[in-house]
Chain A
Amino acid sequence: MNYFAESLSSAFKLIISFDPDIYQVAFTSVLISITAAIIAASLAIPAGVTMALNSFRGKAFIQHILNTLMAMPTVVIGLLLYGLFSRLGPLGHWGILYTPTAIIIAEAILIFPIMMNLAITAVRSADPRLVPTLVSLGAKPTAMIVHVIRTTRLAMLAALITGFGRAIGEVGAAMMLGGNIEGFTRTMTTAIALETSKGEFELGLALGILLLLIAFALNFILSWLNPNND
């Protein structure tokens, strides 16, 4: 108990003293996750809206695939991308293995189905008169997508934040593709795993607390965005 209390106290000291190592890792983590979330959102949200607005053959199958991908283990994504990006892999000549770019790609792929599903749900939950109104006002397909996104923007922002939350807490793919290189690809989750295994429990705990604070902040923003909340 003493060990845990002392470690906790040391962890808070590291955070309060703005320990550069901790904040460097936190900064890298946030930057990678924000980039991944923005890239995924810019593709998943229009794709989700398009899918929700249109009926086509194979729609149910795509929905099924999306649901399956939402539950895909992160290490599997890491493994597949490792195979692609490794020196002998088909995309080895890109030279992005063990770079933040590889982690960003992995995290974007990981959160894409989550965001797309949330975008589909957002359109389905929107006022059923929205789309017929836009049709009768003469909205062309692109304008339709833009205005549906604009009208459901809070739900879309919630999808973005949920995706970011999932990305920043991801460890498997970040470890396999980033290689946990200090000051370059070391994220909060990979650092926690490494530092704890090295016995640097305080450092791991400090990063864990920061990660929790980010999660709390995200939840707070989500609740604040939800107009149904009192």
Chain B
Amino acid sequence: MTNAYQLTAIKLRYKQQLALDIPELNIPSGKSIALLGENGAGKSSLLKLLAFTIKAEQGAVTLFGQTITPPINAVQRQKIGFVEQHPYLLPGSVESNLKLALKLQGVPTEKHGQFIHYALEQTQTTHLAQKDSNSLSGGELKRVAIARAIVYQPDILLLDEPFSHLDQRHLKLLEELILTISQQENKTIIFSSHDRLQGIAIADETINLVSGKMTESPLLNLFHGQLKQQRFETGKISIHTTSSQIDTQHIAIDPHQIIISNEPLQSSMCNSFIGRITLIAEESATIRLTVDCGEPFHAIISPESLSRLSLSLGKTVYLSFKATAVSLF
């Protein structure tokens, strides 16, 4: 499989503060990738770097095997569609915004109609074509911005927090759109999200960022605290780990590794907590549970487990996981 991007020894600073520190990252083409992390983790910076709208002070970025030295040329630019977190549409109609993108990308005029039709149809915004860009709702604006980014049919689509501030209907539409573009059209889609479960549910792969650095952990059940003799103290609870690395400040527990039961488990799992269910949500054919055990834990279970365990909001359950399920960083 070819790589859409290869990043090597990337360092990016904003006013002396390290925003990104990525020794190596390969992003395969034709996949949907979720960039996960909390606010300020470096997701937007990484997307801007991949869109070549900013430049790293150190390191190299290759695009489909070609080392890029910004400013990128027109052919390379045409491979990338980028939608910022708060997209900006130029004054005028939706169609005029799409036309502008085609014009700037040097797409021949005779193809404009066909390309615009494709982008509007994909994003279900055909009815908005003549609408003024200033009169769009938040959800409409995001979909139109995606239409503008895909109108010249790039190989890569970069979306910064596409799901933020959207109502359920627009959120569903966007999720479907991302799945359609990545699966049917075999494009590379890289999107950032602070909702890790949503990212995990939609994407083929995830990239987890903490303070500008990549981590293997899925960043769910992320806790801050201190490690004392293989036990991580969050201030509220104590979690067994397999490490005694003194400089550890964060841990994360993979939600798939958490076992939910109605009775205490008789097993080798040395982490066992009792808590109350505070959230049950359906997430792409899986069930997401939040259990308050002094700290909120997220677990992912199957719909069968939900009915077998007769789980409901407010119910007291036992939550268990192995020390090896804890990632430290």
Residues of A whose CB lies within 8 Å of any CB of B are 127, 129-130, 132-140, 143, 147, 151
List residues of chain B with CB within 8 A of the CB of A151.
Answer: 90-91
Nearest A residue to B89 by beta-carbon distance?
Answer: A133
Which residues of B, 33-90, contact A by the 8 Å Cβ criterion?
51, 53, 74, 77-78, 80, 82, 84, 86-88, 90
Which residue of the partner chain, among A127, A140, A143, contacts B88 with CB atoms under 8 Å?
A: A127
Bound Cα distance from A137 to B151, whole angstroms: 11
List residues of chain B with CB within 8 A of the CB of A134.
Answer: 104
Asked if B51 and A136 make an inter-chain contact with CB atoms under 8 angstroms apart, the answer reads: yes
Ranked nearest first, the 3 interchain pairs of A and B with the lowest CB-CB distance are: A129-B88, A136-B82, A138-B77
Asked if A135 and B148 make an inter-chain contact with CB atoms under 8 angstroms apart, the answer reads: no
Per-residue CB proximity of B88-100 to A under 8 Å, as 1/0?
A: 1011000000001
Bound Cα distance from A196 to B74, whole angstroms: 64
List residues of chain A with CB within 8 A of the CB of B259.
Answer: none
Residues of B whose CB lies within 8 Å of any CB of A are 51, 53, 74, 77-78, 80, 82, 84, 86-88, 90-91, 100-101, 104-106, 148
Which label, helix, strand, loop or mixed, suits the secondary structure of the B interface?
loop
Residue of A130, A133, A134 contacting most chain B CB atoms (<10 Å): A133
Nearest B residue to A132 by beta-carbon distance?
Answer: B53
Given A129-B88, A130-B88, A147-B90, A135 contacting B78 (CB threshold 8 A): no
List residues of chain B with CB within 8 A of the CB of A143.
Answer: 104
- A–B pairs, 9, beta carbons within 8 Å: A132-B53, A133-B90, A135-B53, A136-B80, A137-B101, A138-B74, A138-B101, A138-B104, A151-B90
Asked if B90 and A138 make an inter-chain contact with CB atoms under 8 angstroms apart, the answer reads: no
Asked if A129 and B105 make an inter-chain contact with CB atoms under 8 angstroms apart, the answer reads: no
Bound Cα distance from A137 to B77, whole angstroms: 8
Bound Cα distance from A130 to B91, whole angstroms: 10
Nearest B residue to A144 by beta-carbon distance?
Answer: B104
List residues of chain A with CB within 8 A of the CB of B86.
Answer: 129
Beyond the given pairs A129-B88, A138-B77, A138-B101, 4 more chain A to chain B contacts, judged by CB atoms under 8 angstroms and listed by A's residue number, are A129-B86, A130-B88, A136-B53, A147-B100
Asked if A138 and B105 make an inter-chain contact with CB atoms under 8 angstroms apart, the answer reads: yes
Asked if B53 and A138 make an inter-chain contact with CB atoms under 8 angstroms apart, the answer reads: no
Bound Cα distance from A84 to B311, whole angstroms: 92
CB A152 to nearest CB in B, in angstroms, measures 10
List residues of chain A with CB within 8 A of the CB of B74.
Answer: 138, 140
Residue of A129, A138, A140, A143 contacting most chain B CB atoms (<10 Å): A138
Residue of B77, B87, B101, B104 contacting most chain A CB atoms (<10 Å): B104
CB B45 to nearest CB in A, in angstroms, measures 13
Bound Cα distance from A139 to B152, whole angstroms: 14
